[in-house]
Amino acid sequence: MTASPATNAAASLIASLIAHGVRDVVLSPGSRSQALALAATHFARQGSLRVHVRIDERVAGFTALGIAREQRAPVAIVCTSGTAVANLLPAAMEAFHAGVPLLLLTADRPPELRGVGANQATVQPGLFTPFARLSLDAPVPGDDDAFDWAALGERAVSVALGAVDDPTRPTAAPIMGVAGPVHLNLPSREPLSAALASSVTATPGPAPSTAPMPPLAVHHGPRTLVVAGADAGQDAEAAAHAGDWPLVAEIVSGARFGRNLVHGYRALLRDPQLGGRIQRVIVFGHPTLSREVTALLRRADVDVVAVRSGGEALNLNGRTTSAASVVVAEGDTDRSWLGAWRAASAAASVDLSDPAPDTDGLLSADAAIRRDAVSAELAAVRRPLDRALLADAVWRATWPHDRLVFGSSRLVRVADAVLPGKKVPVHANRGLAGIDGTIATAMGIAIASRAAGAAGVTRVLLGDLTLLHDVGSLLLPPDEPEPRLQVIVGNDRGGTIFDSLEVASEARGEDLDRAFYTPHTVGIEHLARAYGWEYQRVTTRSALDQALTTPAGGRQLIEVPLER
């Protein structure tokens, strides 16, 4: 049997990751990474690891991101050298800003083949440094017999979870307790792989525990508003409830529920009697969906407390206090402050549901009355879909056992403006608010939720350009389990999100259309069929409701045509 230091090192490293809580590896095929890939498949065959294969490294990166988002546990990504590594950068950037633990295991050429024009060799060490909690160029296996590959695995997982910090990281502020990506650059020489004996095993173990950071006590007194941005979760609602403060919760926050939830918050933040009187804001997550919230967090006359969730601390006004968590101290609440927000919220709520059927009219002996009632019912059934109705239908079809993913498109802003409160698990890549990898992220969330035994469906609501930007994610290997995933695409055949931006009033019509709207004539049905997805095209609310709630397994793509 051929001896391979690369194989031995890879097996030791992957086994250590498994021993410290890693359950999933996403890999893309490549020659230089073969030792890592074969070690992963070896342990997967033994049942101690799940392996997911994607031919596109960018898709692989966001698939891992989705799994890690849902599990809140590190997921490893394996790729070969060269441009393959660069394709992981978008997912790594999102993971850094959103605080998601990723382990980037990038194969590389040995040092003597770097900088000399060798094939598929480039500058990989330090490529992710601005976004990596730890960035390490490992020794070539066999060069340093004393190097502890198992210890490297434990250290990588601990740093990715924020359980420990890397003292060599050039950062202006410590980010203990905040998860993020770790980059291990792994050079090797031939022989790149050898068979692993069946006696080489890995024992799954728990992830390292993160030492709790002390909370910041917040007291009653100032007129306070709680703001929940992306990934805020239930902590935001709990703080608003404990303090009897109004809650502004973005639709992507996972905190849009509870008795203190504010509807129509954008207009109310512009109201001098409400938004103008705010003295303190407690922020959870990363708010990105409204200019009104951004303007509030920039105000120099408002005290802002931001609960740290990502690689950058929120500090838009230059005087924001950062906290690992908050606890609401005992004290008297300002009932008039909360009451004013509740009254304004009730007046601003939106109801997109159809009126109840006119039972009396339908049963009337008067033919004219009966005809009018039937016509009203038919009109409700045939009601065409717009963006608000589309978002409302998806929201109403989703329940706590489901998962809902929003793409970064016009639809998420419409949803944020009109949808009521509901306690459902929500995900969105709002760390950098890019449209990259939305379907891949949703695929990862669906994979992780199914592995955890969740019975529901993962739905992703996105626009047509967001779909086309990530169309490669529609490909699923035939030997991997089908996730329960519905992709609902609002297709207005272009980037109409630019309608609301300043460029729409400044640019010439033909320039706006060509360079920003980017109209297309893609047949989405043909894409779905080519990639093996079930496809439906719906144009009415009743048809959409049926498509969303009809039991179906596997992958579904639902296209909803929208007006430009």
Per-residue pLDDT tens over the stretch 176-232? 789 999 999 999 999 999 999 999 999 999 998 877 789 999 999 999 999 999 999
What is the 3-state secondary structure of 95-161?
A: HHHHCCCEEEEEEECCHHHCCCCCCCCCCCCCCCHHHCCEEEECCCCCCCCCCCHHHHHHHHHHHHC
Report yes or no: 412 and 251 within 8 Å, Cβ to Cβ: yes
Residue 172: per-residue pLDDT: 41
Task: Point out which residues pair with 366 in neighbouring strands.
Answer: none
Segments making up each domain of the chain, as ranges: 5-187, 216-348, 387-561
Distance, CA of 128 to CA of 278 (rounded, Å): 40
CATH 3.40.50.970 fits 387-561, yes or no: yes
For residue 403, what pLDDT is reported?
Answer: 97
Of the CA atoms within 13 Å of residue 497, those in its CB half-sphere come to 19
Q: Which CATH architecture has domain 5-187?
A: 3-Layer(aba) Sandwich (3.40)
Return the pLDDT at 503: 63
User: What pTM did the predictor assign?
Assistant: 0.93
Q: With helix as H, strand as E and coil as C, how does 206-253 read?
A: CCCCCCCCCCEEECCCCCEEEEECECCCHHHHHHHHHHCCCEEECCCC
CA end-to-end span of the chain, whole Å? 64
Write down the mean pLDDT value for the chain. Answer: 92
Whether the ω angle into residue 187 lies within 30 degrees of 0, i.e. cis, is: no
Cα–Cα distance list, 37 to 12, 64, 83 (Å): 13, 15, 18
Helices 5-19 and 34-45: angle between axes, nearest 10 degrees = 50
Q: What is the DSSP letter of 516?
A: I
Predicted confidence (pLDDT) per residue in 60-76, tens digit: 999 999 999 999 999 99
pLDDT bin (cut points 50, 70, 90) of residue 517 is confident
pLDDT higher than threshold 60 for residue 299 = yes
CATH 3.40.50.1220 fits 216-348, yes or no: yes
Confirm whether 216-348 and 387-561 share one CATH topology.
Answer: yes
Position 170 pLDDT exceeds 60: no
Give the burial class of 368: count Cβ atoms within 10 A of its Cβ; 0-12 exposed, 13-18 middle, 19 or more buried.
exposed
325 Cβ partners below 8 Å, 6+ apart?
A: 213, 215, 216, 235, 307
